[in-house]
Amino acid sequence: MTATIPTTREIPASARRGELKNFIGGEWVRARTSEWLDVPNPATEELLARVPMSTAADVDAAARAARAAFADWSELAVPERAGYMFRFREALNDYREELIRLCTTENGKIYADSAGEVRRGIEVVDFACGMPTLMMGTNLDQISKGIDSELVRFPVGVCAGITPFNFPFMVPLWMYPLAIAAGNTFILKPSE
């Protein structure tokens, strides 16, 4: 089982500027739409990119891919999933300055706000790295006469999150690292 986590080194330049694609099933795929939304730099009004107004068919494709990936991903040992989070955290730290710059350029935040957003997002990934401890259950024998209590944590399936525009980096990181580290798959839908 190998997880596919794109990095900016793997994203073609055409996908970083111009018309963006959806990341579905480990691949960058063109949306099935004729409607696009311009993403300008709010400070200069320079066009940064165009994002697709994805269709119901695009969402269905993402849901099918996430469902298909869930079978193998959820069976991966918890420490191995945590290992992916450690590598993800390392990549985020390697690209910290670029992420801050992108957050500022796309969202119009001052550098200090973007730096704080990136830092707080990475802190959640730090927390997700501890998933082996977080996934531990509990047992309590004799909670009542002849009754034992047991708590078992397990993956639930495909999770989804819709994020607001004002924290484009931090809010997604509040959602998907924990869901993925817990053995779920995830569909992220940014604002707009």
* Number of domains observed in the structure of the chain: 1
| Of the candidate ranges 5-14, 77-86, 117-126, 166-175, the one whose mean pLDDT is the lowest | 5-14
Instruction: Locate all alpha helices (DSSP H) within the chain, ordered by sequence.
Output: 13-16, 56-75, 78-94, 96-107, 111-128, 131-134, 170-181
Q: What average pLDDT does range 121-141 have in this prediction?
A: 90
Domain interval for residue 24:
13-189
Is 1 a member of any domain? no
What pLDDT is stored for residue 15 in this prediction? Answer: 47
Is 4 a member of any domain? no
Is 6 a member of any domain? no
What pLDDT is stored for residue 38 in this prediction? Answer: 92
Q: 3-19: per-residue pLDDT in tens?
A: 554 454 554 454 455 88
> How far apart are the C-alpha atoms of 143 and 105, rounded to whole Å?
56
Q: 27-56: per-residue pLDDT in tens?
A: 999 999 999 999 999 999 999 999 999 999
Angle between helices 111-128 and 170-181 (to 10 degrees): 10
- The domain that contains 142 carries what CATH number? 3.40.605.10
Is 27 a member of any domain? yes
Q: 69-87: per-residue pLDDT in tens?
A: 999 999 999 999 999 999 9
What pLDDT is stored for residue 14 in this prediction? Answer: 47
Is 5 a member of any domain? no
What are the CA-CA distances from residue 84 to residues 112, 126, 182 (Å)?
Answer: 29, 12, 12
Report whether 41 contacts 106 (CB < 8 A).
yes
b or e along 29-45 (b: 16 or more beta carbons within 10 Å of the residue's beta carbon)? Answer: eebeeeeeeebeeeeee
What pLDDT is stored for residue 152 in this prediction? Answer: 86
Is 7 a member of any domain? no
Q: 137-158: per-residue pLDDT in tens?
A: 888 898 889 999 998 889 999 9
Higher-confidence residue of 69 and 190: namely 69
* Contacts of 140 by beta carbon, 8 Å cutoff, 6+ apart: 148, 149, 150
What pLDDT is stored for residue 4 in this prediction? Answer: 53
Is 185 a member of any domain? yes
Query: How many CA atoms are closer than 13 Å to the CA of 97, on its beta-carbon side?
Result: 1
What are the CA-CA distances from residue 159 to residues 6, 23, 66, 170, 191 (Å)?
Answer: 19, 16, 9, 18, 17
How many of the other CB atoms lie within 10 Å of CB of 182? 19
Residue 110 has pLDDT above 80, yes or no: yes
